[in-house]
Amino acid sequence: MMKYSLFLSVFLLVGVIFIGSLNVNASCPAFPGYNVTNYQRYPNDIVVELSLLSPGPYGNDIQNAVVHLSFVNAEVLRVRILDADNQRWEISDIINKLVPSNEPFNSLYETKVHAADPFSFAVIRISDGSVLFNTSPTDENGNCLFNGLIFSDYYIELSTQFESPNPNLYGLGERTTQLRLLNNYTYTIFNKDEGTASTPNINTYGSHPFYMNLDSKTGNAHGVLLLNSNAMDIVIQPQSLTYKVTGGILDLFFFMGPSPLQVIQQYTSVVGKPHMPSYWSLGWHQCRWGYRTLQDTMDVVSNYTYYNIPLETIWNDIDYMDDYKDFTSDPERFPPDQYGAFVDSLHANNQHYMMIVDPGISNATGYQSYEDLISSGGYIRDAADGVSPVIGMVWPGFTAFPDFFNPDGVSFWQQQLQNWYNVVKFDGIWIDMNEISNFCSGNCWNIDPAPQPGFDPNFPPYIPGGIQLSDRTINMSSIQSTAYGDVLHYNIHNLYGYSEGVATRRALENIQGTRSTIISRSTFAGAGYHYSHWLGDNKSTYQDLYYSIPGILLMNMFGVPLVGADIGGFNGNSNGPLLARWMQLGNFYPFSRNHNTYNGVPQEPYVFGEQVMNISIAAINMKYTLLPYYYTLFHFAHTQGNPVVRPLFFEYSNDENTVAIDQQFLLGSHIMVSPVLVEDAVTVNAYFPDDTWYDFFSGELMTYSGQNATLDAPLEVIPVHLRAGAIIPTQPTYNYEKPANGVPITTTIARTLPFELIVSLDQGIYAYGQLYLDDGISLDTYENGFYSLIEFELTSDSVTFKLSSTIDTNGYDASHLNIGSIKVYGATSLPSNVVVNGQSITTYQFNNYLLIENLEIPLSETFEIDWS
């Protein structure tokens, strides 16, 4: 009775307590879990003590557990389930960026804790009463749906029932997948080098145990993160979702939205908002495995210049290395002095250079980096003696692996990168093979060691995905040194690439003193706070051209906005039409890089003839023209977590037609891209949400709204549409005449060109846009106030129109930047009079849209343009 009065006393606070009677029948569920032995209510926390009712299937059950339901702020609830008696591996301290609110708040949610046996809890959205998460094993009719909580050393299980079956779920990466998850499928989360398989839905390089659930009837979305680094399966069935996790703790975060965008803003407030990328990293990148010599690499750059194709960054794959050893170059093929001079010559043209670095350090005799690693002590250790480096096999043969949890491993890494920077002044680093990928699968001797008695991490009782965990990676029994002491690789495998990314970012910032540009294959939740990603080894197929769209959209939802797929396709051979289509789509990826495998036929934009080259140049120009808009979107990614590219349902969340659309996407909230993804197709079937749309290029008003349309798209055309209500800042490069001195077009030049504002009028005759400017490379420009944020607004009474700017912040000297022209889509006739800052002008015309040109309006000052 004591407990009941306690419940009543807290009833009036944020949480609501539910004490239901449950139809517990003996066999349902098979594992009822825990009962509640104590309960405490604090202002922003509920603490529930649990004791084991029924052991789970694999033994080593935790007898006493404790649940902390923490009301972090109005939109975020955190539920942690811990062992009451023993410390277990958990990652929250490493990754949690969120400072809980100290202010009182009115939650968007309430929680219900089922206090009678067995324990369960529910999370309810207050505004509409919908139950977002409910771990009760039985449904309202008493049918048994799943087990209660199972919490044992090497196996944890928790399920939730859906309020209505087959919800719209998104997330649970990384994998090659359609955007909307299947409603009857087991998703494995475990980092793996799945390079050549490209099998849809299986686990690949990164781990993002986060999903969004969208109720398209109300348009309300919520998100759930299970912050846990162990291998896991997430079983989705029509009525339920079950986590099956191999260790750690349950650390769940609930994000209340209610819009999809708000869910991502809240999610990134926990795992970290994306870093601000360098401006140049948004330019055009060319790479391939197979630029075998420095001369090959230089020839590609020369060809780009010869054909007048913008090139921002040239990359080398593992070809440059001496026997594939990190931090070396082949003395014949890439002589160090010529190599360094070549990179200097790129810099003289404002071009950039990146190359690959793998974590595996060759154990070849006399290799300095290996000796440095061993003497640092910062390597992953073998379980056999707990001291020797664990040895795997990667490109250079036998390798040891730095332990990036170990501060000595981090220092080792920084020193090696510094040494290499002294040879080649690279601008960014491409980190690959960091799942960890190992050609040997556990050990290199094909010994199949018998499972050790008791718990053997190489043979855990439950194996997510059903494939031995050491497949293509190192032993799970390997040992890493963390701030919490020695931890089995078993627990932190999914964090290897993340820890390497964090260490690499720190090193580059120390070495270069500027923003780092790091493209990594492996990621974990929150990776985008530190570094960026490409989607890995795809194939030169139309299928993978399509998969790149859900790929970039999901990574943007995961808070990793600077992302792209290998343009042209990596494995297999590309061809002219496929490359043309991929150049068109790929130049809308936030990160645009053409990359190819060793044996593939060349696929640089100039190799398939003039038509494909022209299409490629137009595509790159489109990206460069939109750079001010991209960069502004990145600013809002960095400060608010907003995805740069978004699924249509983000903006039209109660339009049922949008929930599964993943062949089109939005850039920001107003530019819709509908690429051709089918061989030989010259039309696209595209959905137009209920709104006003203009053709982005011609300004033509579209007649489609809330319906599909068949759009003409011959090879040189990618359909792009602009939603009404926007003011898009652009810097067109189309008409830019290359200077005679042979200096190639780069983002350095592009960002000095005159601006063109593209205005799209909506029915209310209103439009709005923003422009973020800074020097594009210094650290923390926003945080330190060295930026300008300009707002553009168009208002009208439908007779007179006023377009004006407000300078929100003016910490960046933009006096060298001018607005040269303005296009107004949706204007219906030629104005009789246009006045710029009080002066009448005559340089305007009407042809489908209003074009005002020959302007020279400094961006560093506010302006007003009126017409009627």
Ligand X SMILES: *[C@@H]1O[C@H](CO)[C@@H](O)[C@H](O)[C@H]1NC(C)=O
Q: Which is nearer to ligand X, 713 or 794 (CB)?
A: 713
Per the CB < 8 A criterion, the answer to whether 822 and 757 are in contact is yes
**Residue 141 to residue 129: CA distance in whole angstroms:** 19
Q: Compute the least distance from the CB of residue 765 to ligand X, in Å.
A: 28
Is 238 a binding residue for ligand X by CB under 6 A? The answer is yes
| CB neighbourhood size of 401 (10 A) | 29
Give the Cα separation of 607 and 308 in Å (integer). Answer: 14
* Burial (CB count within 10 angstroms: exposed 0-12, middle 13-18, buried 19+), residue 417: buried
Among 65, 390, 502, 814, contact with ligand X (rule: CB under 6 A): 390
Which of 8, 19, 341, 384 is in the footprint of ligand X by CB under 6 A? 384
Question: Which residue number places its CB atom closest to ligand X?
Answer: 538
The secondary element (H helix, E strand) that includes residue 83 is strand 76-83
Nearest distance from C-beta of residue 780 to ligand X, angstroms = 32
CB 684 within 8 A of CB 675: yes
* Smallest separation (angstroms) from ligand X to the CB of 704: 10
* 62, 54 contact by CB (below 8 A): no
Q: Kindly tell me which residue out of 93, 337, 610, 712 binds ligand X, with binding defined by CB under 6 A.
A: 610
3-state secondary structure of 605: coil
Q: In this structure, are strands 532-534 and 120-125 parallel, antiparallel, or unpaired? A: unpaired
Query: Is 133:143 a contact under the CB 8 Å cutoff?
Result: no
Phi, psi of 2 (to 5 degrees): -45, -50
* Of the residues 398, 439, 459, 484, which one makes contact with ligand X according to CB under 6 A: 398
Q: Mark residues 476-495: x for contact with ligand X by CB under 6 A, - for none.
A: -x------------------
Nearer to ligand X, 365 or 735 (CB): 365
Tell the smallest beta-carbon distance from residue 625 to ligand X (Å): 16
- In whole angstroms, what is the distance from residue 358 CA to residue 433 CA? 6
Residues 334, 326: Cα–Cα separation, whole Å: 14
Helices (H), 459-529: 489-492, 496-512
Residue 383 engages ligand X in binding (rule: CB under 6 A) = yes
Give the residue with the Cβ less far from ligand X, 677 or 726.
677
DSSP symbols for 207-251? BEEEEEEEETTTTEEEEEEE---S-EEEEEETTEEEEEESSS-EE
Q: How far apart are alpha carbons 604 and 304 in whole angstroms?
A: 9
- The CA distance from 256 to 107, in Å, is 9
113-152 residues in contact with ligand X (CB under 6 A) are: 117
Supply the minimum distance, in Å, between the C-beta of residue 615 and ligand X.
8
For ligand X, the binding residue among 164, 375, 611, 800 (CB under 6 A) is: 611
Which residue in 773, 867, 789 sits closest to 829, CA to CA? 867
Q: Which is nearer to ligand X, 655 or 774 (CB)?
A: 655
What is the rounded distance in angstroms from the CA atom of residue 354 to the CA atom of residue 314?
7
Between 52 and 728, name the residue whose CB sits nearer to ligand X: 52
- Candidate segments 148-156, 384-392, 814-822, 855-863, binder of ligand X by CB under 6 A: 384-392
- In the complex, the smallest distance separating the C-beta of residue 296 from ligand X, rounded to whole angstroms, is 6
Applying CB under 6 A, which of residues 61, 90, 153, 194 lies at the interface with ligand X? 194
Which one, 216 or 443, has the nearer CB to ligand X? 443
Cα separation, 445 vs 398, in Å, equals 12
- Residue 483 three-state SS: coil
Question: Interface with ligand X includes 382 (CB under 6 A)?
Answer: yes
Residues 818-847 that bind ligand X (CB under 6 A): none
Query: Beta strand pairing status for 834-836 and 857-858?
Result: unpaired
Site track for ligand X across 405-424, x = CB under 6 A = --------------------
The residue from 130, 293, 657, 809 that contacts ligand X (CB under 6 A) is 657
Contacts with 698 (C-beta within 8 Å, 6 or more apart), sequence order: 848
CA angle 356, 362, 365 (to 5 degrees): 140
Considering the complex, what minimum distance in angstroms separates the CB of residue 483 from ligand X?
24
C-alpha Rg value of the chain to the nearest Å: 28
For ligand X, the closer of residues 105 and 398 by Cβ is 398
Distance CA 66, CA 607 (A): 63
Which residues are bridge partners to 157 per DSSP? 150, 244
Using alpha carbons, list the distances in angstroms from residue 376 to 189, 198, 326, 394, 556. Answer: 32, 38, 17, 21, 37
* Binding pattern for the stretch 270-309 against ligand X, x by CB under 6 A and - elsewhere: --------------------------x--xx--x------
Q: From residue 421, how far is each of 357, 416, 825 by CA, in Å?
A: 12, 9, 49
Segment near ligand X (CB under 6 A); pick from 220-228, 601-609, 793-801, 810-818: 601-609
For the chain, the maximum distance between any two Cα atoms, rounded to a whole number of angstroms, is: 89
Q: Pick one of 607, 702, 715, 851: the residue that binds ligand X (CB under 6 A).
A: 607
* Catalytic machinery residues: 432, 435
Q: What is the number of alpha carbons within 13 Å of residue 748 lying toward its C-beta?
A: 14
Q: Does 619 bind ligand X (CB under 6 A)?
A: no
Could you give phi then psi for residue 192, rounded to 5 degrees? -150, 140
Q: Which of 58, 398 has the CB closer to ligand X? A: 398
Burial class (CB in 10 A: 0-12, 13-18, 19+), 402: buried
If the CB atoms of residues 115 and 318 are measured against ligand X, the closer one turns out to be 115
Q: What CA–CA distances, in Å, run from 327 to 155, 330, 372, 531, 732?
A: 41, 10, 12, 21, 39
- Contact at 8 Å (CB) between 799 and 835? no
> Measured from the CB atom, is 35 or 473 closer to ligand X?
35
> Of these, 135, 191, 198, 540, which contacts ligand X (CB under 6 A)?
198
Q: Is the link from the previous residue into 861 a cis peptide, with omega within 30 of 0?
A: no
Query: Which of residues 606, 634, 652, 755 is near ligand X by CB under 6 A?
Result: 606
Helices (H) and strands (E) in the chain, counts: 15, 49
- Candidates 86, 102, 365, 840; binder of ligand X (CB under 6 A) is 365
Interface map 534-553 toward ligand X (x if CB under 6 A): -xxxx-----x--xx--x--
Site string for ligand X, 554-593 (x = CB under 6 A): -----------x----------------------------
Question: What's the min distance (Å) between Cβ of 353 and ligand X?
Answer: 16
Shortest distance, position 539 Cβ to ligand X, whole Å: 6
Nearest to 571 by CA among 541, 534, 597, 603: 597
**Residue of 87, 685, 833, 845 that binds ligand X (CB under 6 A):** 685
Residues 444-473 that bind ligand X (CB under 6 A): 449, 458
**Contact present, 748 and 781 (Cβ < 8 Å):** no
Stretch that binds ligand X, among 137-145, 584-592, 610-618, 828-836 (CB under 6 A): 610-618
Query: Residue holding tokens 């700017």?
Result: 805
Give the interface segment with ligand X, choosing from 190-198, 417-425, 459-467, 860-868 (CB under 6 A): 190-198
Question: For ligand X, which is the closer residue by CB, 83 or 117?
Answer: 117
176 belongs to the binding site for ligand X (CB under 6 A): yes
CB of residue 520 to ligand X, shortest distance in Å: 14
User: Which CB atom, from 99 or from 447, has the smaller least distance to ligand X?
Assistant: 447
Nearer to ligand X, 362 or 770 (CB): 362
The answer to whether 30 contacts ligand X (rule: CB under 6 A) is: no
The correct pick among 64, 259, 363, 683 for binding ligand X (CB under 6 A) is 363
- The answer to whether 708 contacts ligand X (rule: CB under 6 A) is yes
* Positions that interact with ligand X (CB under 6 A): 35, 37, 51, 53, 117, 176, 184, 194-195, 197-198, 204, 238, 296, 299-300, 303, 363, 365, 382-384, 390-391, 398, 442-443, 449, 458, 475, 477, 535-538, 544, 547-548, 551, 565, 604, 606-607, 610-611, 614, 657, 685, 687, 707-708
